[in-house]
Structure 1
């Protein structure tokens, strides 16, 4: 159980920060963030950390991306029916550690155990690695997309891990290997590297008519599309949301079609490497927000 005064969690948070890992509070005894915008607000400042953990026995969240980490999460099955897919079962795997072992054998590589390691509340394993320089790797989950396999998740930009010193369901997260954090092996970085982006092509904005109104709308659309296509590696989703809000105001005012705006912004989002499902959710959210402040353009 967490210490009621939060002393153990505070010590753990300060220890993580001393490694230059950005930390933030998680709900006591839970894995969910206790603050919003946690990736931006995560810190290594001992004074801020001490003030935060003086409020409650917060669990320790580590923002992996800003901390320069890639953490490989080797999970355990959660219930008797949580069994491996046939493609993995034929290798006799029973959990995430077995899957990583199979991957190592396929690639002729040793199991990457010589790094800072944490045993999770469920008996799983978190292997901590230094992220490759200049490569903004993202989270992966299981077999999906660039994922490594069943019961193997990775946490990088956009992700968090529960740090050592935390508890969940009455069970602790404990360091099992105190060694330094090793660089992410190159062969694993290659497997996790996002697929190349599609060729950049202009987003065609077709508006009929002439005059100042049409010119204004064309400029507004092109500007918001450029906001997305010109955004930095960690700003794509935020830029897409801002663009959707701005154009959503014009949709609500009857100046633009929601279908057209969604199409323009989705094309821009795909060009910078966003997944279609995530991009559509972000666009829809931005359009809803923009609809609260309809905007019209004088003729």
Structure 2
């Protein structure tokens, strides 16, 4: 793949800054910040008074940008919060297994979200990502402070705001280029989307002790109670991974005939939804996790 020159990346950084977006260098060919982290902080220069994170060091100053990007072919990161941006990230499921294609992509989920709200797909500055996903850029007023979200709007739909970072158009990773496919001005975040993002998190659900019907063993029942409780107690950002881990942990008991699969699926579905995950996302994750665990688990005598 063609590698961008430092001059091209500098141009991309200056173009983003000209729009009022605060930029910072990302590692060459990557998406992680190139600035030092807290553990490696020299406590000098900008950090003389204490570690300053990349979000605070991001800048629109052309002189600072030139000084940074002339030292290497850094990709360009945009600190969304200081830039007054909310970026909706429409992701694409990773094709790691035969069931991954069952899940809707972020664009499909977002289109359905617009349809349910009775609203058109919003027209705004848009970047296509190397994976085939999209970043939709929106502005918010200075009095509004939104934070990142992970699949709370819909499956494979994340948002980046305060605390968040997106890779700017013109950057390149081994998977491909970040390309602006609609260079129109950034529009204001639609009111209906603002309401969705400001919707309070669901209140904690008090769940009665799990009663497993049939011939479930005691250890399978205890494991299911423990894992579903962990899913219900996981906060935003780690819920789907915790659901995946929990269902994988129970797959072996299903394979060994110690608990019916439908009981496990129903319990994890309820736990995932109680944690705030979308029903479709829960079903896809649980099915994939159980299929993998059942297929790969060792025989009970060898465990």
Write the distance in 1 (CA, Å) between the matches of 2:187 and 2:56: 25
1:156 to 156, 161, 172: 161
Where in structure 1 do 4 or more consecutive aligned residues deviate above 4 Å? 1-5, 82-85
The verdict on how the C-alpha distance between 1:83 and 1:150 changes in structure 2, with shifts beyond 3 A counting, is farther
Write the distance in 1 (CA, Å) between the matches of 2:31 and 2:187: 25
Is residue 121 from structure 1 mapped to residue 130 from structure 2 by the alignment?
Answer: yes
The verdict on how the C-alpha distance between 1:96 and 1:170 changes in structure 2, with shifts beyond 3 A counting, is closer
SS of residue in 2 equivalent to 1:190: helix
For residues 244-263 of structure 1, what are the structure 2 equivalents within 5 Å? Answer: none
TM-score of the superposition, structure 1-length normalised?
0.59
Unaligned stretches of 5+ in structure 2? 37-52, 204-303
- Tell whether the 8 Å contact from 2:85 to 2:161 is kept in structure 1 after alignment: yes
Is residue 137 from structure 1 mapped to residue 154 from structure 2 by the alignment?
Answer: no
Write the distance in 1 (CA, Å) between the matches of 2:168 and 2:98: 25
Q: Alpha-carbon deviations, 1:190-215, whole Å to 9, x = none?
A: 1111528x9xxxxxxxxxxxxxxxxx
SS of residue in 1 equivalent to 2:153: coil
For residues 212-251 of structure 1, what are the structure 2 equivalents within 5 Å? Answer: none
Q: Alpha-carbon deviations, 1:244-265, whole Å to 9, x = none?
A: xxxxxxxxxxxxxxxxxxxxxx
Count residues in correspondence. 187
The verdict on how the C-alpha distance between 1:52 and 1:82 changes in structure 2, with shifts beyond 3 A counting, is farther
Partner of 1:6: 6
Write the distance in 2 (CA, Å) between the matches of 1:194 and 1:126: 22
SS of residue in 1 equivalent to 2:31: coil
SS of residue in 1 equivalent to 2:137: strand
Query: What is the deviation of 1:94?
Result: 2.5
Q: Alpha-carbon deviations, 1:270-294, whole Å to 9, x = none?
A: xxxxxxxxxxxxxxxxxxxxxxxxx
TM-score of the superposition, structure 2-length normalised?
0.58
Unaligned stretches of 5+ in structure 1? 199-299
Write the distance in 2 (CA, Å) between the matches of 1:130 and 1:20: 11
Partner of 1:102: 112
Q: Alpha-carbon deviations, 1:72-112, whole Å to 9, x = none?
A: 00011111438579xxx7xxx63000000111111111111
Write the distance in 1 (CA, Å) between the matches of 2:173 and 2:99: 23
The verdict on how the C-alpha distance between 1:138 and 1:49 changes in structure 2, with shifts beyond 3 A counting, is same
Write the distance in 1 (CA, Å) between the matches of 2:98 and 2:92: 9
Write the distance in 2 (CA, Å) between the matches of 1:52 and 1:124: 29
For residues 269-284 of structure 1, what are the structure 2 equivalents within 5 Å? Answer: none
- Tell whether the 8 Å contact from 1:95 to 1:151 is kept in structure 2 after alignment: yes
Is residue 195 from structure 1 mapped to residue 204 from structure 2 by the alignment?
Answer: no
Write the distance in 2 (CA, Å) between the matches of 1:63 and 1:20: 11
Partner of 2:67: 51
Query: What is the deviation of 1:135?
Result: 1.5
- Tell whether the 8 Å contact from 1:137 to 1:194 is kept in structure 2 after alignment: no
